[in-house]
Amino acid sequence: MMAQTDSSETPLLEVLNLRVEFPTRRGTLVAVDDISFDIKPGEVLGVVGESGAGKSLTGTAVINLLEPPGRIAGGEVRLKGQRIDNLPQEKLRHIRGRQIGMVFQDPLTSLNPLYTVGYQLEETIRTHMNMSEGQARKRGIELLSEVGISAPQDRIDQYPHQFSGGMRQRIVIALAVCANPSLIIADEPTTALDVSIQAQIIDLLKRLCHEQGTAVMLITHDMGVIAETADRVAVMYAGRLAEVGPVQNVIKQPYHPYTKGLMGAIPTVGQKLERLTQIDGAMPRLTEIPSGCAFHPRCPKAFDRCDTERPDPIAVEESKVACWLYDDARVLSGETEQ
């Protein structure tokens, strides 16, 4: 049953044993706890989990934009094989924007209300690319057109408040891709947008992947968005990775009890159920992370070992699952279900 997947394609992004801490007067809180994953060129990795799981912190840690006192306390982040988590801020600034683009949840935090959209686009383009003012403006108009802004030659001189929420999010994506980065980190890019605008933003991200080979780390709590967009899914719980695998495997045949609970809580069109699956309890606070597997107090399949030992990711088919149910000894003895 168990098989280690293998790919000859070199990952664009590698996150190795990443740990993010927040020192406080009451002790050190561990918000992201020893997680590892990679993203290949042209691939969309969806990162999902409940609020407080550490999804957004993982994204900001990749580009080292953690708010103090947050800090990377362990592990490595590698882009195209080069370690970037330990670079000076000056070098990191060149990597952000040029090699890594960031799309934040709220476009108003990414756009300066005092400057026109064109000024902000042109400034970003000229910062990262060798272009004249005229060339940068032409490129800005092309980008607005590419992200679906009508009459871009007129709207480029307008201010952020003159655009709707969906249009502002498109502009933020234009800013993120203006220097042709290799990686885009999109943190809840479709939250608070209506369904039709969500679909357009998803299509835009997918097109960037297919046409330019851009890798995308898509952070969201919306499994519908993941199902439409992602190639692989990383499920986070309490700052740890519960399961990583191909999107169809995770949706149709999840392994981790937490992932099964998430999938069971999603209503399916045409399926008649008296009630959806409910995961009892709540995500633990950072001050109260349980010993062993962090999910064990809520897990219907938990046994003694779950309470005392933390499981490392175990290869199951094409997925990796941090769950003792899939330990070799239990599988061989027939103790676990498939």
195/172 Cα distance (integer angstroms): 19
* pLDDT score, position 249: 93
pLDDT more than 90, % of the chain:
66
9/71 Cα distance (integer angstroms): 31
How do beta strands 215-219 and 27-39 pair? unpaired
pLDDT tens per residue across span 58-81: 999 999 999 999 999 999 999 999
Query: Percentages helix, strand, coil for the chain, rounded to the nearest 5?
Result: 35, 20, 40
Nearest to 164 by CA among 200, 201, 195, 193: 193
pLDDT tens per residue across span 227-271: 889 999 999 999 999 999 999 999 999 999 999 998 887 766 666
* pLDDT score, position 311: 96
136/126 Cα distance (integer angstroms): 6
pLDDT tens per residue across span 141-163: 999 998 889 999 999 999 999 99
201/216 Cα distance (integer angstroms): 13
pLDDT at 135 over 70: yes
pLDDT more than 70, % of the chain:
91
Domains (range + CATH), the chain: 13-99+182-283 (3.40.50.300), 110-180 (no CATH)
Cα 213 versus chain centre, distance: 17
Mean pLDDT rounded to a whole number for the chain: 89
How many CA within 13 A on the CB side of residue 83? 9
Please tell me the least confidently modeled range out of 65-69, 206-210, 309-313, 332-336: 332-336
CB 173 within 8 A of CB 99: no
Q: Is 140 exposed, middle or buried (0-12, 13-18, 19+ CB in 10 A)?
A: buried
The alpha-helical segments, DSSP class H, found in the chain are 55-62, 89-98, 117-128, 133-146, 152-155, 165-177, 195-212, 223-229, 247-252, 257-264, 304-308, 328-332
* pLDDT score, position 6: 44
CB 296 within 8 A of CB 302: yes
* pLDDT score, position 280: 86
pLDDT tens per residue across span 166-207: 899 889 989 998 988 999 999 988 876 778 878 888 888 888
Rounded (5°) CA angle 31-80-8:
105
Name the region of 281 (left: φ>0; alpha: ψ -120 to 50; beta: rest).
left
295: CB partners within 8 A, 6+ apart: 237, 238, 242, 256, 257, 258, 302
41/183 Cα distance (integer angstroms): 8
* pLDDT score, position 121: 96
* pLDDT score, position 336: 55
* pLDDT score, position 238: 96
